[in-house]
Structure 1
Amino acid sequence: MTEASETARKATLDKDLEKLAQVEEATSFLARGLAAPGLALFFMAFVAIAVAVFAAGEPGAVAIIAAAAIGAYMALNIGANDVANNVAPAVGARALTMGGALVMAALCETAGALIAGGDVVDTISKGIIDTNAVAGPGVFVSAMMAALLASAVWVNLATAIGAPVSTTHAVVGGVMGAGIASAGFTAVNWPVMGGIAASWVISPLLGGVIAASFLAFVKSRIIYQDDKIAAARRWVPVLIGVMAGAFAAYLATKGLKKVVHLPATHIVLIGVGTFLLAWGLAHLGVARQSRGMENRNQSLRRLFALPLIISAALLSFAHGANDVANAVGPLAAIVQAASGGGLAAKVSIPFWVMLIGAFGISLGLLLFGPKLVRMVGEQITKLNPMRAFCVALSAALTVIIASWFGLPVSSTHIAVGAVFGVGFFREWYTQNSPRRRAYLERKGVRLRAERRLRAGDAEAVFDDEDEADTEPLAFSREEAKRRKLVRRAHFSTIVAAWVVTVPSTALIAALIFHGLAFLS
């Protein structure tokens, strides 16, 4: 009897211990999910406390402290959403691991913001509202704080649903909404807003067309050539030279204003000179790297991997130099107005304000960036180093072209539009290219490809650049309609988020401004 009781007690104890272990495991799982938000809140609190120490006794100290915390929140969201576009193609193409991409982007973003970030910004987002129409510094501070908080909230919501949006447009919408709430519709510069609205269409279309054009060139001149390696030795150095020249001109145009201001002729010379230097070095490097390579597409991927990694680093540097102003521009305006500096369309950014933006963007990327990196790099369409290289090259060239013509474009819209452009072009090319069909017929692959299609090998259907001898010449019309290379659900979600960004942030900012006015 005693032995039976002892056995029952042990069984009960084992069950209780098992339940405790399950509770502990569940708690640990939940704690991991709360670690990132906890670190983000700690960063915001640290910023608020540090600013409170330095701003104690200064005029408008309370407003400056609150604005600093909100600016830190905005910087975290920019890192979580906007920066993902720079490294997502490299991660999706497996040229970089997720961890390596996040660390590299964080370092390059911080370096770009601190080394080449503009020391003077248009705090009213390129003249969206007239500062003279605002009643006074107090109203202006409330309006900028509402704009900053509204744009941060919207970017946070977009990140939560997995939609890469333009943080520039979010700030623009926030400033517009706060400006209307504080000074009326007449305070808004509607022609400027019209140009920004036009960029919703111009940015992704231009990025997509340029990316698709480069992919068409790569397919026709390299991939669907009988001797791929010889074609790569001829054309890959040219593409690397174009990339290097484009990024040199891009950085000289947009990213190095703080270091040096260059006229257009000098920028062109820098671009051409960098192209020639990079072409010469790449010619030697590709010739050495391709020695002994098999005549297959897998070999071509290795030739594009390093240039893709370098392009991701340069995009991150340039993004840090330019888009840090989205986080700290309104904050710098609040600091100047609250401390008695008056209202101005342009203000200098104090170094401590730039630090908040630089480190906040990097921390936001490390904590929350993977979600958008996977969305852009893996879930919209399948990327490899060649396609991802076309996306990165398109991003740099599109910004340069838009700058020359004075078009207000979004780097986010350009990069995501380039990914869509690559995917939609592949859909069209797979079904309609005579060059591809002739190449496959020369290789005699029709029967092998059709056997694999009937066997249900979807990878052989979709990845038309993995190996040429594993793809069908064409599908039936019904099969082609069913098997798309771009996920339409993501396309609809992202486009919808782009369209509603400005009006949504404007509405949120107006509500926040009226709430602040009611509390005061």
Structure 2
Amino acid sequence: MTVSFPDFLDHLAGNPVLCITVALTLGVVLVNGWIDAPNAIATGVSTRAIKPYPAIIMAVICNFLGVFVMTFINANVAETIYHMVDFGSNYHDSLIALCAAMIAIVIWAMTAWFFGIPTSESHALIAGLSGAAIAMQNSFSGINAEEWVKVIYGLFLSAILGFLTGWAVVRIVEYIFRMMDRQKTSGFFKNAQVAGAAAMSFMHGAQDGQKFMGVFMLGMFMAEGVDLQGGFRIPVWLMILCSLIMGLGTCFGGYKIIKAVGMNVVKLQQYQGFAADLAGALSLLFCSLCGLPVSSTQTKTTAIMGVGASKRLTNVNWGAAKEMVFTWILTFPGCGLIAYLITKLFLHIF
């Protein structure tokens, strides 16, 4: 099942709650492009392989392509997000709960951005939806354990896979180029890192674009009063809309996040930055094909740690790394609780 653009506009015109839900969902997509997208280009900018403005333009284009290409190949991530929670059969209240979840995600993301901490929008999305669903059902019956367990798999797999792949890729690169003069390879790795940053941006769009399109479809079917248990097809107009909004957010991407990911965790040379980008992109591709909703921020950051640790463990700023890990762990109860409280408040008021 899908929704045509004219049908969507008809529902939008006659349903004020859906209008608010759509606006908030697009707001979260905007924040995702703002907060998460800079992670994809952080290493390239920090090693001066590419300047910030061209990097942002490249990220916008590659995010756009990532949403399109991966959704046509495999939309399992979007379906996992769609079926992860159960808001119940009262669709009016369900839309209110979905609005509350989106507000909680924005509050959490902007707080993290203010402090320059690269929190995961993916984790915040999952936590916000879960907190709102629990508030709606007054129990954990609002959580679909079969789908939620994919989140747990993705949480650990992306961290381990990112670290190990980063370690392995940089070792392979060093072995291949071990006999070559470092000066002669600098131009190659500068261009290679630009390509790696493009691949990371592509996979960011592929992963995060699908997550938010899954939420968008959830809101639209709620507005129609449809309890869709099977699969659905994401319309092209929604791919375009989410891609454009995410790209707009990327244009506002913060230097704080680029600095935190690309500079504070470990100091990278250009060949190491290329290895980190390639490792992050490969890890995200694997998880996307498996239908696991993972954090592009976490995957990229752990890949950087793996690259740094390939020489010496002391090369990694474990203090900064611990701060990020703490934020990721705190996101689930923190953002989930905010969503729970806002949902209860909104249901009481409206």
Letter in 1 for 2:105: S
1:71 to 16, 21, 25: 25
Matches within 5 A, 1:442-457: none
Q: Establish whether residue 519 from structure 1 lines up as the match of residue 346 from structure 2.
A: no
5 Å-filtered alignment, 1:66-465, equals: 66-114=20-68, 117=71, 122=78, 125=81, 127-130=83-86, 134-183=88-137, 184-223=139-178, 228-229=179-180, 295=181, 297-338=182-223, 340-345=224-229, 346-349=231-234, 353-402=238-287, 409-428=294-313
Give the aligned residue type for 1:110: F
Cα deviation for residue 222 of structure 1 reads: 2.6
| Higher RCO (CA < 8 A, seq sep 6+) | 2
Residue 507 (structure 1) aligned with residue 337 (structure 2): yes
Paired letter, 1:485: N
Q: Letter of the 1:127 partner, please give it.
A: H
For residues 211 and 221 of structure 2, what CA distance do their matches in structure 1 show?
16
Q: Secondary structure of the residue that 1:342 maps to in structure 2?
A: coil
Instruction: For 1:348 and 1:407, locate their aligned partners in 2 and report how far apart those are by CA, in whole Å.
Output: 18
Q: Is the 8 A contact 1:90 1:312 kept in 2?
A: yes
Give the conservation status (yes or no) of the 8 Å contact 2:199–2:278.
Answer: no
Separation of aligned partners in 1, 2:214 and 2:152: 21
TM-score normalised according to structure 2 size: 0.86
CA distance in 2, matches of 1:173, 1:413: 15
| Residue 422 of structure 1, CA deviation | 1.4
Which TM-score applies when normalising by structure 1? 0.60
Q: Mark the CA change 1:217 to 1:321 in structure 2 (over 3 Å): closer, same or farther.
A: closer
What is the aligned-residue identity percentage?
A: 26
Q: Is this contact kept in 2: 1:214–1:390, CA < 8 A?
A: yes
Measured after TM superposition, the shift of residue 113 of structure 1 is 3.0
| Residues 206, 288 of structure 2: 8 Å contact kept | no
Q: Tell me the residue number matched to 2:3.
A: none
Take 1:516 and 1:55, find their aligned partners in 2: how far apart are those partners? 25
CA distance in 1, matches of 2:286, 2:217: 30
Q: Deviation per CA, 1:464-517: give whole Å up to 9, x if none.
A: xxxxxxxxxxxxxxxxxxxx4322331121001111112222111111211111
Q: CA deviation at 1:70?
A: 0.9
Q: CA 1:408–1:359 in structure 2 vs 1: closer, same or farther (change >3 Å)?
A: closer
TM-aligned CA deviation for residue 309 of structure 1: 1.1
Unaligned runs of 5+ in 1: 1-50, 230-294, 429-483
> Cα–Cα, structure 1 residues 505 and 380, in superposed 2: closer, same or farther, change >3 Å?
same
Counterpart for residue 490 of structure 1: 320
Answer yes or no: is the 8 Å Cα contact 1:102–1:369 preserved in 2. no
CA contact (8 A) 1:208 1:417 kept: yes
Give the superposition deviation at 1:88.
1.3
Give the RMSD, CA atoms, in angstroms.
2.8
Deviation at 1:322, TM superposition (A): 3.3
- Given the superposition, is the C-alpha separation of residues 130 and 376 from structure 1 closer, same or farther in structure 2, using an over 3 Å criterion? same
Distance 2:192 2:152 in 1: 34
